[in-house]
């Protein structure tokens, strides 16, 4: 499966995303990384089976200018509408609250997070995305608090910490396409956690409607 990955911002180095996803290459995933917003294009997206967004609304790690213009939002919306898949990972929910087309497309955005600490991940229905069932786990991570359009999403994963409980994974369909959001993953050990690797693989397959 060809996965186009958009990553790298001030708080989330692209190299960490590469290392976190690298283990999935053994399962046949082929990743094509774009770390600067100028490298992105609609034609590049069309060459991928699914897009994975792990980048906040910044052009690059050194340029915090927002990259998600109205044109880019419409390109993502059209990409999904016509039958493609989009997986939004952690930082991919950050800085998009005031981008209505994209916000409604992914169904929820980052609000804030307390200081990193112990976070427990639970799956409300391990079979919703198909594939091998992932089991709940606890990690040291940022606990993302999110604003979710509840009427537009199906939550299948939650996160709990001393600060409360939050949706941590949800999915939705848009037109002929599919969108999935996973909020954990600020640290490499979270991305590489065996159960989270299962969740990532399941989400990619579901978004791409691929056979397993």
Backbone angles phi, psi at 72, to 5 degrees: -65, -40
As a whole number, mean pLDDT of residues 4-18 equals 97
Nearest to 83 by CA among 209, 212, 200, 211: 209
Position 210 scores a pLDDT of: 87
Which structure tokens are listed for 171?
Answer: 């999915």
pLDDT tens-digit readout, 176-186: 999 999 999 99
Number of domains in the chain: 1
List of residues 6+ apart from 192 with CB closer than 8 A: 19, 20, 23
Position 156 scores a pLDDT of: 94
CA distance 54 to 62: 16
Domain extent at residue 93: 2-208
Position 83 scores a pLDDT of: 97
pLDDT tens-digit readout, 133-167: 889 999 999 999 999 999 999 999 999 999 999 99
Nearest to 198 by CA among 169, 172, 159: 169
Position 127 scores a pLDDT of: 64
Q: How confident is the model at residue 131 (pLDDT cuts 50, 70, 90)?
A: confident
Q: How confident is the model at residue 126 (pLDDT cuts 50, 70, 90)?
A: low
Q: How confident is the model at residue 125 (pLDDT cuts 50, 70, 90)?
A: confident
Q: How confident is the model at residue 41 (pLDDT cuts 50, 70, 90)?
A: very high
User: Side-chain half-sphere of 63: how many Cα atoms within 13 Å?
Assistant: 9
Task: State yes or no: pLDDT of 192 exceeds 90.
Answer: yes
Task: Report the CATH number at residue 162.
Answer: 3.40.50.880
- Residue 133 DSSP code: P
pLDDT tens-digit readout, 64-110: 999 999 999 999 999 999 999 999 999 999 999 999 999 999 999 99
Position 55 scores a pLDDT of: 98
């Amino acid at each position: 499966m060809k996965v186009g990955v958009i990553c790298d911002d001030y708080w989330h180095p692209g190299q960490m995303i590469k290392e976190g996803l690298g283990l999935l290459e053994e399962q046949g995933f082929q990743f094509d990384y774009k770390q600067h917003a100028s490298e992105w294009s609609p034609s590049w997206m069309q060459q991928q089976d699914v897009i994975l967004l792990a980048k906040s609304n910044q052009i690059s790690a050194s340029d915090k200018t927002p990259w998600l213009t109205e044109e880019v939002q419409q390109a993502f919306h059209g990409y999904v509408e016509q039958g493609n898949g989009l997986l939004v990972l952690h930082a991919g929910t950050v800085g998009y609250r005031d981008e209505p087309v994209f916000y409604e497309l992914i169904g929820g955005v980052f609000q804030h997070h307390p200081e990193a600490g112990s976070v427990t991940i639970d799956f409300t229905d391990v079979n919703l995305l198909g594939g091998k069932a992932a089991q709940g786990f606890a990690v040291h991570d940022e606990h993302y608090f999110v604003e979710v359009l509840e009427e537009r999403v199906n939550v299948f994963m939650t996160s709990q910490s001393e600060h409360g409980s939050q949706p941590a994974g949800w999915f939705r369909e848009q037109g002929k396409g599919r969108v999935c959001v996973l909020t954990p993953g600020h640290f490499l050990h979270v991305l590489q956690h065996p159960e989270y690797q299962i969740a990532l693989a399941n989400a990619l397959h579901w978004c791409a409607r691929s056979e397993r």
